[in-house]
A and B are shown apart, each in its own frame.
Chain A
Amino acid sequence: MNDNRTESRSETPVEVAGEQLLLLAEKAIFLPKGRELILSDIHLGKSGHFRKHGIPAPGAINSNNLDRLGSLIRDKNPKRLIVLGDLFHSEANREWFEFEEWRAKFDIPLLLVKGNHDLLHPSFYEKADIDVVDEFVTGPFRLVHDRNDISDLGDDEMLISGHIHPSIRIKGRGRQSLRLPCFLIGEKEILLPAFGGFTGTHNIDPGETDRVYAVVEDSVLPIKV
């Protein structure tokens, strides 16, 4: 393995609203200023939910998601982890306990900006030491789960949201076509790809002024649209 891999891989710096932020190939955003790690739509517990209902999704999906999140935290050493909603997919199942156990190993503040899937009783979040909010502001950024819930965005505010699980279709000569999960940076907003590994994607149709960054294996590449 190439030793430079961890350095060369993975992060693409972009400037938005006068702030620097890093788009990570792990499908997360890192804000170096406040050392905040932002990601969205993990959908923990989803494989367990399927399995509990008799549909044999691979049981390893959950621990795999948690392992990926763990190494990202170790790698970036953030001051705060912010999840933009859909932390846990369903009503409680035992994969929540797996998450709790994981959580106990990371002494780091965890903020959950509530998503449509986050319907567990507050005591679950309390016990796992998670602060739950409907939205959150850090610097010029206003963080929500679903951008459609916001109608009063201020002129100097920049929205960051998840929910859509965006992906981009790239076409080339020779009838080539690819579909990749992506970040979208518009004039007023940033869309995050879904972090979770069993979640699917939704193709977006970016506007002319939007910048799109596709997650291509271990790197984040700017895409012309």
Chain B
Amino acid sequence: MSSLSESLIEKWFNQKGWKPFEWQRNVWSASLNGEFGLLNAPTGSGKTFALFLPVLMRWIDEHPKTYGELEQNGIQLLWVTPLRALARDLEKAMQTAVDELGLPWSVQRRTGDVSSSVKQKQKKQLPEVLIITPESLHVLLAQKGYDRRFKTLQSVVVDEWHELIGSKRGTQAELALSRLRGLNPDLQVWGISATIGNLDEALGMLLGPDRPEKSRIIKSGIKKRINVETVLPESVETFPWAGHLGINLIHKVLPILEHEGSTLIFTNTRAQSEIWFQQLLEQKPDLAGSIALHHGSLDHKIREWVEESLHDGTIKTVVCTSSLDLGVDFAPVDRVIQIGSPKGVSRFLQRAGRSGHQPDTLSSIWFVPTHALELIEAAALKEATERELVEDRIPVLKPFDVLIQYLVTLAVSDGFEPEETFREVTSTFAYQTLRRDEWEWIVQFIQSGGSSLSRYDEFNKAEPDEEGRLRVYDRKIARRHRMTIGTIAGDSMLRVKYLKGGTLGRIEEWFLSQLNPRDTFWFAGRNLELVKIKDMTAFVRKTKGTSSKVPSYMGGRMSLSSNMSDLLRKKLHETIDGSSTSIEMETIKPLFDVQRERSALPDDNELLIEKSWSKEGCHCFFFPFEGRYVHEGMSALVAHRISKLMPITFSIAMNDYGFELLSDKDIPIEEALEKDLFSDENLIRDIMASLNDTELAKRRFRGISRIAGLVFPGFPGNRKQGRHLQMSSGLFFDVFSEHEPDHLLLQQAYDEVLNDQLDEARLRRVLQRIAGQKIVLKEVDRFSPFAFPIYADRLRERLSSEKLADRILRMQKELKKD
């Protein structure tokens, strides 16, 4: 250590009583050396300072005499973070460091939560360090003159990169990086990632396919010790077979909260968090004052208050959703409770890592199963934690919707020159395989709105200026576009506000539209009465009473990762062959006895199929234990193949363990099995057919149409304005299918299904596994423990090979019979 900056930093660390880790020093010198890379370090390890400090060090060394005076230097560092909840803590910690090191720099955040006056100031002058989410970064790119504001930018750090990979927000980050690199070819880029299965690919996604020579992955080498406990039911006989709330184990969760220190209780949905919060208070009223609720629909002021109170110790317990998934280095908790399946090993480890922040302390996590079969998942999670079986994050490739949104973003600010932008876009990992013809279609699309040959057309969006840069001139279109930037698909949201003022948060419009004034509902941990809905705002007042509705929130249902489903099958097998020693599998044994008695307990060389009858018709349950996504595809494929034997209509349900075909007719499963139901011959043909028979693609199109700007959610604060331009994504899907079947966005919807649910390679692998298995077909009188949770699911896919009119006539006939 010799330079001025290094001795300053050394001194600062000493003052704090800290000592830099070896890997932190490695990152500093790599960064100061002009290298690019990815830092693999867990939360709470000091990763922030590893990448934040070298930016200050370089500045100090470049301005050894003046660094203490230079103000308003323009932006130097852009810190991209996926969660706005993190931004505030980062801002505080970084500003403190800057102040104590004697730099008159400003650290600010720019997220959806930031007030418009701050946004206005940032429009004039960006701070030296800006903390931002990928969406907000695109909002800045949609402002005129962004290139001037970013001119001084030297470095970008993408925090929690693993969290962005695999989502379209990650693609957004890639595109923004490509633009910033376009402005400054020497821009230094680093990422920070927790451990994932494909770190190398993660580096490639961050830096693009032509990654700079001087790039590398630095690993902190920190191994977190994690202790996993399962909250077990007293007896599995009285434990429910289905359900996702987990409230019946609440009496066993309460004692955990009495331990010294703070607790985060993770739930999987916002509704679940509201219910747990309510129930905990009801069971133990003296928790009031020391427990709080935190989820993404709450107003940012409430969330900030909760975060602060957790840090300063006034709140001991927070019930939360993924809104507190990621942590910063400065806000440890003492233990974590996970209610219900986390679906993946990485997410589980991440949440566990929110506790015990010091590198050498033990992280403690309790897993609370919400129904009996989740006990198998509990056993699997323990083994996965021990063996660190983290998943790969699968990159999103070539999403046309995100690209369309991005190009319009550039067009509403300063316009873009197609050739230059093509080079930038194809320099990203996501779009490296973007073909010329696809690019031209998209550029054409934002100018002409697709293949309209009508001479009456007056499509209005982007047009070339005299230099050939594509621009959006219409200010209304520009304004609407800026409003809709963001790739997270969701329903339109209404603000929930007290009559006397004070915003509580936002709720999906469709939930509120089911309520009448004076109806009560539970939100933000309070019982509220709806007074009126006006201008995208639901006015409420507090009320007494408990029997209120809880808003349920739409949202994709996550699938068990393939790592987890592999382990699930392994655990089942260990139980059958008697080699299992796990307490969870011991607990669930009586349930397995019931399964055996009513049907069979399938070993890993068997595929169990149960056929049964109820008032609703004929049910066939299949149990491949492959996770929800595979079952979505497989059930469509199997239903399609059976429906070729006779005209028949299916309603299909699935979960992570298996799927159900339900029909009002006798399902000819025996005949189908004889005809090789699980053959991998003609797989592609049958996949394409089942894709067309189901609504999987149409559902995908919901998100796509919103991102690509087809579906306009409306202006906040003015419900009526914009209404005339609103149309459901389903109707768009139908009219495109009818009029422009080659539309790239339709294509994308089908491709997404083919990538996720109906992935050929994966289905083929599963079918080949089944080919080596013995098929066990059981006629069952009563639903088995495996079947029941699937049967109970109301969310269903449909597939039919009957003529619509025939179907209706029969439905009508049955109606008469009843």
Interface residues of A (CB under 8 A from B): 47-64, 90, 93-95, 97-98, 170-176, 178, 180, 197-198, 200, 214, 216-217, 219, 221, 223-224
Q: How far is the CA of A59 from the CA of B805 in the complex (A)?
A: 31
In the complex, B474 has a CB within 8 A of chain A: yes
A-contact bits for B729-750, CB 8 A (1 contact / 0 none): 0011001101110000000000
Establish whether residues A178 and B808, one from each chain, have CB atoms under 8 Å apart when the complex forms.
yes
Q: How large is the interface on B (under 10, 10 to 19, 20 to 34, 35 or more residues)?
A: 35 or more
How far is A223 from B816 in the complex, measured between Cα atoms in Å? 11
From B446, which residue of chain A is reached at the shortest CB distance? A56
A47 to B458 Cα, complex, angstroms: 10
- Compute how far the CA of A198 lies from the CA of B320 in the bound complex, rounded to whole angstroms: 41
Closest Cβ of chain A to B449, distance in Å, is: 3
Question: How far does the Cβ of A98 sit from chain B's closest Cβ, in whole Å?
Answer: 4
B456 near A94: Cβ-Cβ < 8 Å: yes
A176 touches B811 (CB 8 A): yes
Given contacts A59-B450, A97-B456, contact A223 B812 (CB under 8 A): yes
Given contacts A56-B445, A60-B740, A200-B731, 4 further A-B contacts (CB under 8 A): A53-B460, A53-B725, A61-B739, A173-B617
Interface pair B454/A52, CB less than 8 Å apart: no
Q: Please, which residues of chain A bring their CB within 8 A of the CB of B735?
A: 47, 57-58, 61, 197-198
B649 on interface, CB distance cutoff 8 Å = yes
Chain B residues contacting A176 (CB-CB under 8 Å) are: 649, 651, 664, 798, 807, 811
Is B466 part of the contact surface with A, judged by Cβ < 8 Å? no
Nearest residue (CB) in B for A201 is B731
Can you list 10 A-B pairs with a CB-CB distance of less than 8 A?
A: A51-B449, A51-B452, A52-B460, A55-B725, A57-B735, A61-B739, A63-B454, A64-B738, A170-B811, A172-B811
A149 to B187, CA, bound (A): 65
Binding site for A on B (CB under 8 A): 445, 449-454, 456-461, 472, 474, 476-477, 480-481, 615-618, 649-651, 662-665, 709-710, 712, 724-725, 727-728, 731-732, 735-736, 738-740, 796, 798, 804-805, 807-812, 814-816
Cβ-defined contact, B450 with A224, below 8 A: no
Contacts of B458 in A (CB 8 A): 48, 51-52, 93-94
Closest beta carbon of chain A to B787's beta carbon, Å: 15
In the complex with contacts A173-B617, A174-B664, A56-B727 CB distance below 8 A: no
**Complexed CA–CA distance, A222 and B816 (Å):** 14
B664→A173 contact, CB < 8 A: yes
A51 to B710, CA, bound (A): 10
Residues of B within 8 A of A97 (CB): 456
Once A59-B449, A174-B664, A176-B651 are accepted as A-B contacts, the answer to whether A48 and B804 lie under 8 Å apart by CB is: no
The answer to whether B808 and A56 touch across the interface, beta carbons within 8 angstroms, is no
Q: Of A55, A98, A173, which one neighbours B456 at CB under 8 angstroms?
A: A98
Contact A171 B804 (CB under 8 A): no
Closest residue to B651 on the A side, CB-wise?
A175
Minimum distance in angstroms from B147 CB to a CB of chain A: 24
Chain B: minimal CB distance from A125 (Å):
18
Q: Which chain B residue has the least Cβ–Cβ distance from A89?
A: B724
A58 and B456 form a contact (CB under 8 A): no
Question: By the criterion CB–CB under 8 Å, are B739 and A174 in contact?
Answer: no
Enumerate chain B residues within 8 angstroms of A53, measured Cβ to Cβ: 460, 476-477, 480, 725
Give every chain A residue within 8 A of B461 (Cβ-Cβ): 54, 56
Q: Which of B457, B651, B725, B808 is within 8 Å of A94, CB to CB? A: B457
B450 adjacent to A56 (CB under 8 Å): yes
Contacts of A94 in B (CB 8 A): 456-458
A89 smallest CB distance to B (angstroms): 8
B26 to chain A, nearest CB (A): 50
| Complex interface: chain A residues within 8 A of B809 (CB) | 221
Question: In the complex the two chains form, is B739's CB within 8 Å of A64's CB?
Answer: yes
Which residues does chain B contribute within 8 Å of A172, judged by CB atoms?
664, 807, 810-811, 814-815
Contacts of A198 in B (CB 8 A): 727, 731, 735
Task: Give Cα distance in the complex from A63 to B798, angstroms.
Answer: 32
Q: What residue in chain A is nearest B454 (Cβ atoms)?
A: A59
A225 shortest CB reach to chain B, Å: 9
- CB-nearest residue of chain A relative to B618? A174
**What's the least CB distance linking A194 to chain B, in Å?**
12
Q: Give the complex CA separation of A28 and B467 in angstroms.
A: 52
Give the CA-CA distance A30 to B609 in the complex, in Å.
53
How far, in angstroms, from A173 to B814 measured CA to CA in the complex?
Answer: 7
CB distance from B749 to the nearest CB of A (A): 15
- Identify A49's interface contact among B450, B724, B804, CB under 8 A: B724
- With beta carbons under 8 angstroms apart, the residue of A93, A197, A224 that contacts B816 is A224
The one of B476, B481, B651, B709 in contact with A174, judged by C-beta atoms closer than 8 angstroms, is B651
Distance in angstroms from A52 CB to nearest chain B CB is 5
Task: Please give, as numbers and ranges, the residues of chain B lying within 8 Å of A174 by CB-CB distance.
Answer: 616-618, 649-651, 662-665
Inter-chain CA distance A180–B811, complex, in Å, is 14
Q: CB-nearest residue of chain A relative to B653? A: A175
How many angstroms between the C-alpha atoms of A60 and B474 in the bound complex? Answer: 24
A58 to B453, CA, bound (A): 10
Residue of B nearest to A216 (CB): B805
